[in-house]
């Protein structure tokens, strides 16, 4: 890598430009990736680096994910002046733009007022800490770690109790499918464990026909040659959920994700997501 001459091209996406509107109003899936993929396809850049949880499960023709580096902690963290969920007062406001997080919060504390809350992470932390924003906000712990601000987390949820988004904590390097030289270069940072985990998680979403903005949580763990996945679909108000947990061998990642999705569908997952 030291022998390669690099140029970093900064590209602003629709999700970056508008930090106030709900993501669904901006087009939902892909609002943080479309401009980068256009730049790849027209040759302005040779690779794009994404937060993998923001990527649609189906890529544009001519593009592929060439590397998934070692995954960061996928758990959810809470920024708050209060030290725990139990300490939040009755009717406290909790900020998030995610229906998945909203459903799980309300399942834990039906009295909470969950409000739309977007913006860059530093601003969200400042507003919560100063009392200008909500009483708490749910964010990806990996985002705090990458900014060196993990100390701002009041608490971190267990990822088997408060399920993260598919591929949360993972970075993806996307390239043109025909670019063998870039693929060889980028392949050096691909991590097999991270890749298998996110393949399972994204296959669950794909077979549900769900994107990252729908109330689906999933966590896959790869250890000792085996994969275990816990996936859930939530009724948006938090009143109900369907959960499945299965295991399989690491060589069957795509099939395992498909099987988990099929079992969710058999139990009424598609109907549940439409409620609320």
> Distance between CA 112 and CA 94 in Å, rounded?
7
What value does the mean pLDDT of the chain take?
91
State residue 20's pLDDT score. Answer: 59
State residue 213's pLDDT score. Answer: 65
pLDDT in tens, 74-105: 999 999 999 999 999 999 999 998 999 999 99
Answer yes or no: do 172 and 254 share one domain: yes
- Count of structural domains, the chain: 2
> Distance between CA 144 and CA 46 in Å, rounded?
28
Answer yes or no: do 173 and 247 share one domain: yes
Inter-residue contact 156 to 29 (CB < 8 Å)? no
Report whether pLDDT(2) > 80: no
Question: Is 83 within a domain?
Answer: yes
Q: What region does 101 belong to: left with phi over 0, alpha with psi -120 to 50, or beta?
A: alpha
pLDDT in tens, 98-112: 999 999 999 999 999
Where residue 111 sits, what CATH number does that domain have? 3.40.190.10
Answer yes or no: do 90 and 66 share one domain: no
Domain boundary among 156, 181, 213: 156
For the chain, give the percent of residues with pLDDT over 70. 91
**Which residue range(s) make up the domain with 179?**
14-72+166-273
Answer yes or no: do 119 and 177 share one domain: no
Question: Is 6 within a domain?
Answer: no
Inter-residue contact 244 to 267 (CB < 8 Å)? yes
> Distance between CA 155 and CA 151 in Å, rounded?
10
Cα–Cα nearest to 11, from 33, 41, 27, 30 = 33
Report whether pLDDT(142) > 90: yes
Q: Is 152 a residue of the active site?
A: no
> Distance between CA 99 and CA 105 in Å, rounded?
10
Answer yes or no: do 202 and 66 share one domain: yes
Rg of the chain (C-alpha set): 19
Instruction: List the catalytic residue out of 42, 46, 54, 190.
Output: 54
Q: What is the mean pLDDT of residues 13-17?
A: 66
Whole-structure pTM value: 0.91
Residue 223 makes CB contacts below 8 A (sequence gap 6+) with: none
Domain boundary among 156, 175, 199: 156
Answer yes or no: do 55 and 181 share one domain: yes
CA dihedral sign of residues 119, 122, 126, 128? positive
Answer yes or no: do 173 and 259 share one domain: yes
Question: Is 103 within a domain?
Answer: yes
Answer yes or no: do 175 and 228 share one domain: yes
Domain boundary among 135, 156, 177: 156
Question: Is 179 within a domain?
Answer: yes
Query: Predicted confidence band at 211 (pLDDT cuts at 50, 70, 90)?
Result: low
State residue 22's pLDDT score. Answer: 53
pLDDT in tens, 17-33: 655 555 554 455 667 79
Q: What is the mean pLDDT of residues 173-191?
A: 96
Question: Is 161 within a domain?
Answer: no
Query: Predicted confidence band at 115 (pLDDT cuts at 50, 70, 90)?
Result: very high
Question: Is 7 within a domain?
Answer: no
Query: Predicted confidence band at 3 (pLDDT cuts at 50, 70, 90)?
Result: confident
State residue 13's pLDDT score. Answer: 76
Where residue 35 sits, what CATH number does that domain have? 3.30.160.40
Answer yes or no: do 128 and 175 share one domain: no
DSSP class per residue in the chain: -TTS---------HHHH-SSS-GGGGTSTTTTTHHHHHHHHTTS-SEEEEEGGGS-SSPPTTEEEEE--SPPP--EEEEESSSSTTTSPTT-EEE-S-HHHHHHHHHH-TT-EEE---S-HHHHHHHHHHTSS-SEEEEEHHHHHHTT-GGG-SEE--TTTS---TTTT-EEEEEETT-HHHHHHHGGG--HHHHHHHHHHHHHHHHHT--TTSSEEEEEEEETTEEEEEEEEE-TTSS-EEEEEEEEEGGGHHHHHHHHHHHHHHTTHHHHHT--
Structure tokens belonging to residue 69: 């580096």
Question: Is 203 within a domain?
Answer: yes
Edge-to-edge strands, sheet with 155-156: 113-115, 93-95, 136-140, 76-80, 155-156
Question: Is 2 within a domain?
Answer: no
Answer yes or no: do 87 and 217 share one domain: no
Answer yes or no: do 29 and 90 share one domain: no
Answer yes or no: do 103 and 33 share one domain: no
State residue 128's pLDDT score. Answer: 96
State residue 39's pLDDT score. Answer: 94
């Amino acid at each position: 890598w030291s022998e390669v001459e690099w140029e970093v091209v900064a590209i602003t996406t629709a999700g970056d430009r508008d930090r106030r509107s709900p993501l669904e109003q901006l087009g939902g899936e892909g609002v943080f990736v479309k401009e980068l993929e256009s730049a790849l396809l027209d040759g302005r850049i040779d690779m794009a680096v994404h937060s993998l949880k923001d990527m649609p499960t189906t890529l544009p023709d001519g593009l592929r994910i060439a590397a998934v580096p070692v995954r960061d902690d996928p758990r959810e963290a809470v920024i708050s002046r209060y030290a725990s969920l139990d300490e939040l007062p009755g009717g406290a406001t909790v900020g998030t733009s995610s229906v998945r997080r909203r459903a799980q919060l309300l399942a834990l504390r039906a009295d909470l007022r969950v409000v739309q809350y977007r913006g860059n992470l530093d601003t969200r932390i400042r507003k919560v800490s100063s009392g200008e924003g909500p009483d708490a906000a749910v964010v990806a712990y990996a985002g705090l770690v990458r900014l060196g601000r993990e100390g701002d987390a009041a608490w971190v949820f267990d990822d088997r109790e408060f399920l993260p988004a598919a591929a949360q904590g993972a970075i993806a390097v996307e390239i043109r499918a025909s670019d063998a030289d870039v693929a060889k270069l980028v392949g050096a940072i691909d991590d097999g464990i991270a890749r298998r985990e996110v393949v399972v998680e994204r296959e669950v979403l794909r077979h549900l026909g769900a994107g990252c903005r729908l109330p689906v949580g999933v966590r896959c763990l790869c250890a000792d040659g085996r994969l275990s996945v816990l996936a859930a679909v939530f009724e948006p108000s938090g009143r109900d959920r369907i959960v499945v947990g299965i295991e399989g061998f690491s060589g069957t990642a795509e099939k395992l994700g498909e099987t988990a999705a099929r079992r969710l569908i058999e139990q009424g997952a598609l109907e549940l997501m439409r409620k609320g």
